A = this chain, B = another copy of it.
Amino acid sequence: MSTVSAATLRGFITRIYVAAGVPEADAATVAALMTEADLNGADSHGVFRLPQYVRRMLAGGMNKQARPHIVEERAASALIDGDNGLGHLAVSLAAQTAIAKAKTAGVAWCGVRNGNHAGPASLYARMPMQAGMIGMYMAVGSANHLPPWGGLELLLSTNPIAIAVPAEEETDVVLDMATTVAAYGKVKVKAQRGEMMPEGWMIDRQGNPLLDPKRSSEGLLLPIGGYKGYGLALMLGLLAGTLNGAAMGRDVVDFNADDTSVTNTGQAILAIDIAAFGDPAQFRRNVDNLVRDLRDSERLPGTDRIWMPGEQSALKRREREATGIPIPPPLRAVLDTLADQVGAARLSA
């Protein structure tokens, strides 16, 4: 499979957006975040989504020249209106605002409404972490694939949560999980690769296992832990969506099927300044010790290694920084078509 460097991919995404009418600075910001997603191994949430984002812009469903801005504000909270632009812009503003407020207030929470799909949750939970804090992020997914527990109607999304905690010498601990057994993005990648899904990801409307990802539109994703995952998806949606006046439940627009309706996507981010609770260096050393205790503990027969959340992603990042980001042939074909369509240079090999 051919690969591209992060710099090459970033340049490609930037010029596609600019050709589509996005201001250069915004295009560069979003391109950097989408490339970051690909570097971290979030294959279903990086450049893979570019054709869909651009299609939505060109169809008038997303504002190319959006100006996300704060509409409500207190010492430790803010509500951001994403102006129906690329979700990455609104959530980045939310993260920056939360970090700045947490520096003084100790903790801050910022919500987003009128945003759009913003890529992988871990991107944003990492932003406070990169500022020496703990980050937490949650979002309303951009299409409903989950029924309430015992139900058939797709009224909930895979609403993800990410939590990022810095370590000192060990790899930072970063959880990024959908509240369903599989994220819908993983289903889409399986479909594009022509692979079957394992049992337990989806059921059909009769309750039988659904294995063919090309039939995913007929199926229901399964929540983790049964009714618990359903409850968690619901609560995260209330926090990231309803609280911000963003879409939730029946109001969620399926952004895979509909390129023109305003999605009013909601997200929320929490930043915790570790220094408000003690010495940050001591905290990070305690995280190191915990990581070592867990990683080096006795394993079940047949288990080679105990992984920390975020560790596989960090390994993938090192690998891709060295050898490039793989671009599967079907994705490259789609990206070539997109480049031709907007009149930008294709992604080089």
Contact = CB atoms under 8 A, between A and B. Distances in A.
Contacts of A127: none
Interface string A187-222: 000000000000000000011000000000000000
A147 interface: yes
Nearest to A206: B301
Counted per complex, copies of this chain come to 2
A151 B303 contact: yes
B165 A249 contact: no
Contacts of A149: 306-307
Interface residues of A, number: 78
A277 B79 contact: yes
A215 B204 CA distance: 38
A224 interface: yes
A242 B286 contact: yes
Contact of A77 (B148, B235, B277): B277
A11 interface: no
B150 A305 contact: yes
Contact of A76 (B106, B153, B173, B250): B106
A306 B151 contact: yes
Contacts of A297: 147-148, 151-153, 155
Contacts of A289: 249
A173 B234 contact: yes
A228 interface: yes
Interface string A307-343: 1110000000000000000000000000000000000
Interface stretch (A25-33, A50-58, A83-91, A268-276): A268-276
Contact of A74 (B79, B224, B276, B295): B276
Interface stretch (A12-20, A35-43, A107-115, A255-263): A107-115
A77 B273 contact: yes
Contacts of A60: none
Contacts of A207: 300-301
A107 B108 contact: yes
A46 interface: no
Given A134-B243, A306-B150, A107 B109 contact: yes
A131 B207 CA distance: 41
A121 to B, nearest CB: 12
A279 to B, nearest CB: 9
Nearest to A235: B163
Interface string A134-158: 1000000000000111111101100
A5 to B, nearest CB: 31
A104 to B, nearest CB: 7
Given A109-B270, A175-B234, 14 more contacts: A74-B273, A75-B75, A77-B277, A78-B106, A105-B105, A147-B297, A153-B298, A163-B239, A224-B229, A234-B309, A238-B287, A243-B283, A249-B290, A249-B293
11 contacts: A77-B106, A109-B270, A149-B307, A150-B300, A155-B293, A155-B297, A173-B238, A224-B225, A225-B225, A244-B277, A249-B289
10 nearest A-B residue pairs (beta carbon): A224-B225, A77-B106, A76-B76, A74-B106, A76-B105, A150-B303, A153-B297, A107-B109, A231-B309, A75-B105
